[in-house]
């Protein structure tokens, strides 16, 4: 297989004709952070923004005036579900069983009915295997989508607390039934930080296709910062439960109890639900997978590399559920950053983990016979940014991040042939975002795409 760097398409980005040099963040790099941060927590990703040379990897296209612009590969290559035939099996994906993909499913109010794949892992807080009820996950998805199209932030959540608990426990079981290091086959769409910007998540699905029209890999940081972290994580968990083999969620540094206490998710749960619901989400976060490899050539992780990573088996051996430690392999995978100034490994200005230089990236790719590292964790002005001769790319998917950065959001599409292209979300502020969501809803027939039982 040729190096993936040889396959990158020429890119079109939805920028004005003068490029990204016309845009500037609305504050300093610290502006997205709370005014007072406790000393025991590192500086968050809002403190880092990297500017992109607009001529380095993009060309201006005719779609610059559109609210949602994209340069995407052929949509047909993303229409099928991920399928890897076993020995002696047909290469044609099997026809999905409607009973497995639609309609009500049995998920419990306090724990899952699935067997625990990790006997050493106890059920979540207060779990009781006897309390099981049937909840219509399709109805839950439709209610969440309706909220997303309204572009309104409601005081209450559209799901009841027992429904939230049920979907969390079901998702927890799915995560623990799958590896810590996920191995995927393309086509797949890779999404960076979302950070509770729920309307932008709906815009992204409108642009790239709602599950199961496309296979997805999210790189973490679903909560905090934005105003609708609950809706954001709930929709993602619902899709994970409904399409467990086509929809994948990795852990970010914000999927952690200590971080969510400070950056918004704890307060949102307490205000809109209760603290017990927050604890239930934390139990799910502690079970998320850590990294993924696409076609044995693209290493995907939220943060970056680690000096403690000596073999891919090191990632596979990370036991879940687990909190994020203060240092070590798991901490680095979620927190580290690439740096043009780092020669090898250097202290990270966030105050946690490391920055790694070009030699570290090159050695990693040679050792594991890979072509690209795909990560998130940093605000980048154009929604994506390449490093080190296109051997590492940062993908950030929250446009107009926190209302402080005039950045685009991006999704990286990887085709079956490992052709990589970027689909971009234009930054929109509050009034413009509501107008855009109204237009999108009207275009889709006054209602979100319904999920119906067969």
Q: Residue 253 and residue 259: Cα distance in Å, rounded?
A: 8
The residues pairing with 313 across neighbouring beta strands, listed in sequence order, are none
Find where tokens 């430690």 sit: 325
Q: Residue 335 and residue 313: Cα distance in Å, rounded?
A: 20
Cβ–Cβ < 8 Å for 338, 311: no
Q: Residue 345 and residue 332: Cα distance in Å, rounded?
A: 11
Helix axes 229-242, 161-177, angle to 10 degrees: 50
Give residue 115's region: left, alpha or beta (phi > 0; psi -120 to 50): beta
Strands 409-414 and 181-184: unpaired
Helix or strand run (H / E) with residue 275: helix 275-285
The residue count of the chain comes to 454
Q: Is 254 a catalytic residue?
A: yes
Helix or strand run (H / E) with residue 239: helix 229-242
Contacts 24+ apart (CB under 8 A), 356-363: 356/304, 356/305, 358/387, 358/388, 360/305, 361/305, 361/387, 361/388, 361/391, 361/392, 362/388, 362/391
Q: Residue 174 and residue 246: Cα distance in Å, rounded?
A: 12
CA distance from start to end of the chain: 41
Give the contacts of 342 (CB within 8 A, at least 6 positions apart). Answer: 354, 355, 356, 357, 360
Q: Residue 134 and residue 222: Cα distance in Å, rounded?
A: 27
Q: Which of 254, 302, 310, 377 is catalytic?
A: 254
Residue 198 tokens, joined:
């729920």
Residues marked active site are found at 254
């Amino acid at each position: 297989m040729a190096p993936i760097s040889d396959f990158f398409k020429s890119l079109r980005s939805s920028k004005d004709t003068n490029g990204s040099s016309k845009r500037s963040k609305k504050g300093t790099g610290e502006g997205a952070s709370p005014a007072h941060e406790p000393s025991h927590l590192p500086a968050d990703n809002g403190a880092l923004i990297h500017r992109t040379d607009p001529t380095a990897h993009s060309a201006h296209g005719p779609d610059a005036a559109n609210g949602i612009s994209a340069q995407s590969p052929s949509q047909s290559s993303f229409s099928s579900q991920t399928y890897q035939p076993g020995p002696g099996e047909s290469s044609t994906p099997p026809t999905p069983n409607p009973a497995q993909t639609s309609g009500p499913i049995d998920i419990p109010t306090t724990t899952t009915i699935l067997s625990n794949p990790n006997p050493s892992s106890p059920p979540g807080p207060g779990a009781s295997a006897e309390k099981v009820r049937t909840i219509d996950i399709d109805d839950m998805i439709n209610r969440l989508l309706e909220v997303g199209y309204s572009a309104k932030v409601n005081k209450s959540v559209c799901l009841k607390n027992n429904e939230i608990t049920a979907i969390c426990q079901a998702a927890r079981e799915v995560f623990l039934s799958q590896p810590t290091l996920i191995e995927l086959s393309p086509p797949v769409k890779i999404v960076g930080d979302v950070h509770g910007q729920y309307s932008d998540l709906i815009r992204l699905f409108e642009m790239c296709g709602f599950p199961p029209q496309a296979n997805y890999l999210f790189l973490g940081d679903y909560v905090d910062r934005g105003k609708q972290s609950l809706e954001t994580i709930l929709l993602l968990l619902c899709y994970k439960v409904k399409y467990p083999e086509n929809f994948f969620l990795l852990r970010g540094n914000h999927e952690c109890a200590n971080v969510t206490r400070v950056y918004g998710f704890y307060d949102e749960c307490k205000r809109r639900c209760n603290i017990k619901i927050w604890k239930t989400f934390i139990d799910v976060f502690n079970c998320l997978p850590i990294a993924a490899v696409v076609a044995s050539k693209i290493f995907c992780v939220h943060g970056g590399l680690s000096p403690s990573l000596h073999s891919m088996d090191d990632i596979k051996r990370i036991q879940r559920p687990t909190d994020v430690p203060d240092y070590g392999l798991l901490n680095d995978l979620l927190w580290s950053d690439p740096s043009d100034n780092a020669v090898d490994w250097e202290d990270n200005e966030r105050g946690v983990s490391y920055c790694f230089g070009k030699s570290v990236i090159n050695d990693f790719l040679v050792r594991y016979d890979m072509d690209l590292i795909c990560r998130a964790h940093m605000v980048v002005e154009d929604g994506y940014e390449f490093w080190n001769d296109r051997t590492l790319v940062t993908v950030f998917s929250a446009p107009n991040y926190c209302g402080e950065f005039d950045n685009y959001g991006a999704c990286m599409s990887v085709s079956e042939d490992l052709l990589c292209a970027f689909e971009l979300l234009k930054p929109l502020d509050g009034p413009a975002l509501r107008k855009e969501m109204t237009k999108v809803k009207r275009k889709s027939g006054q209602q979100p795409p319904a999920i119906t039982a067969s």
